[in-house]
Amino acid sequence: MLIDKVEAIAIRVPLNKDFGGSVYNVTSRCTVITRLWVKDGPVAEIYNGDNRSHGPEIAGLVNDMLAPLLRGRDVRDWLGLHALLETKVPTVAMAPELLMQAIACVDSVIWDAMGRCYGVSVARLLGGFRKELAIISIGGYYLEGKTLSDLSREMQDLRARGMAGCKVKVGGLSPEEDAERVAAARDGAGPDFMISVDANRGWNWRDAVRFARLVEPLDIVWFEEPCHWMDDLRNMEEVRRASSIPVNAGQSEITGQAVRRLIDARAVDFVNFDASEAGGITVWQRVAGMAQFSDILLTHHEEPQIAAQMLASQPHGYCVECFADPERDPLWDHMLLDRPLVENGTIKIPDTPGFGITVDPTMIEKYRI
């Protein structure tokens, strides 16, 4: 199972709306496609990340720095290969987040290749705990002209699309205004629909606490990244103490050590560590172990094409996130030729080899940078 070649391709798909949160704008869907050829064996292929500006740089790091390290090595030696990739981390101190994303691309395709070589899914390689998971959509964006009634109808539409819930964007308005938006979402969704909220680090801890207390009666599953990044560990601990709503964070970290600090600070109830941002599946499974021993639940920041397999492998995997709106994520809606089945609030975990997806090559060629 020797590695013959590794290649990365950056793609960017323009969006026809600005899907903005509290502190950012999204006008394109970007990702990096990574392929690995096993000598006399299968070709693995996966895509990673929702990086909005640095896809070509990440692909360049894969092609120029990381791929040459792997030629001729055995894909089954995944832990040794990851350690080899990590030897490059000290050499790019000015942009470590880009290298961690590049390592994530390579590590993910290695796991896909192992699954294809052995004929089993990544979920089974990692433990194979369950065959389906709840799936929710990210939504509730601050679109121009969007009313409270529109937000209520959006929740109804998501239910019709097979979603079990929605993660609603908050943090861009006052706590009172956003609490009103969340109340409208709950009214539209009904009582048996999961509602979580995501401030994307938009508030100071006092405003975050004020908001949390306003929405506590609305049965909120979690409050994600409530506080500004400058002192988020201490501030999230304050939010946890002041409210009954669980706190979710981890997607902005680029190392497992950083998640350990979140856990040690008693700042989180959920961890949504993103394998595509932080070194891949190999790092993610270490974080999953830390979370389990700390009685913390797992979600994953976006990326259902890999997250479904990973979360299904763990007993404390909670739910998968996606963008159910095809205008926000045309890749999930159009680029996968065999997207996993989503119905009645669950996603079925493919038992086909690797991550169980096939990417449409015509879409890659159309949108490659």
Round the CA-based radius of gyration of the chain to a whole number and report it.
20
The predicted pLDDT at position 144 comes to 87
The pair of structure tokens assigned to 221 is 């599953």
For residue 195, list its beta bridge partners: 166, 220
- Put residue 344 in one of left, alpha, beta given phi > 0 → left and psi -120 to 50 → alpha: left
Write out pLDDT tens, residues 116-126: 999 999 999 99
The Cβ of residue 109 has, within 10 Å, a number of other Cβ atoms equal to: 31
Mean pLDDT for 26-33 is 93
Name the residue with higher pLDDT: 338 or 227: 227
* Of the candidate ranges 69-73, 85-89, 102-106, the one whose mean pLDDT is the lowest: 85-89
Spatial CB neighbours of 177, under 8 Å, sequence gap ≥ 6: none
Report whether pLDDT(94) > 80: no
Query: Is 266 within 8 Å of 237 (Cβ atoms)?
Result: yes
**Distance (Å, whole) CA 70 – CA 47:** 19
Range(s) for CATH 3.30.390.10 in the chain? 3-120+360-367
* Of the candidate ranges 63-77, 91-105, 172-186, 340-354, the one whose mean pLDDT is the lowest: 91-105
Tell me, letter by letter, the H, E, C secondary structure of 276-313: CCCCCHHHHHHHHHHHHHCCCEECCCCCHHHHHHHHHC
The predicted pLDDT at position 25 comes to 79
The predicted pLDDT at position 52 comes to 72
What is the rounded end-to-end Cα distance, in angstroms, of the chain?
A: 31
Range(s) for CATH 3.20.20.120 in the chain? 124-348
* Three-state DSSP class for residue 321: strand
DSSP 227-282: B-GGGHHHHHHHHHHH-SS-EEE-TT--SHHHHHHHHHTT--SEE---TTTTT-HH
96 alpha carbon, distance to own chain's centre: 19
The predicted pLDDT at position 171 comes to 96
- Report the half-sphere exposure of 125 (CA within 13 A, side-chain side): 27
The pair of structure tokens assigned to 313 is 């492998």
The domain 3-120+360-367 is classified under which CATH number: 3.40.50.10540, 3.30.390.10, 3.40.50.300, 3.40.50.620? 3.30.390.10
Residue type, 104: A
Topology classification of domain 124-348: TIM Barrel (3.20.20)
Banded pLDDT at 78 (limits 50, 70, 90): very high
The predicted pLDDT at position 91 comes to 80
The predicted pLDDT at position 93 comes to 67
The predicted pLDDT at position 4 comes to 97
Write out pLDDT tens, residues 299-357: 999 999 999 999 999 999 999 999 999 999 999 989 999 899 999 999 999 999 999 99
Report whether pLDDT(26) > 70: yes
Write out pLDDT tens, residues 174-186: 999 999 999 999 9
- The structure's pTM equals 0.94
The predicted pLDDT at position 97 comes to 93
The pair of structure tokens assigned to 309 is 């397999």
* Of the candidate ranges 13-27, 28-42, 185-199, 324-338, the one whose mean pLDDT is the lowest: 13-27
Query: Is 223 within 8 Å of 249 (Cβ atoms)?
Result: no
Highest mean pLDDT: which range of 10-24, 85-99, 309-323, 328-342: 309-323
Report whether pLDDT(255) > 90: yes
Express as a percent the part of the chain with pLDDT over 90.
Answer: 92
Mean of pLDDT over the chain: 95
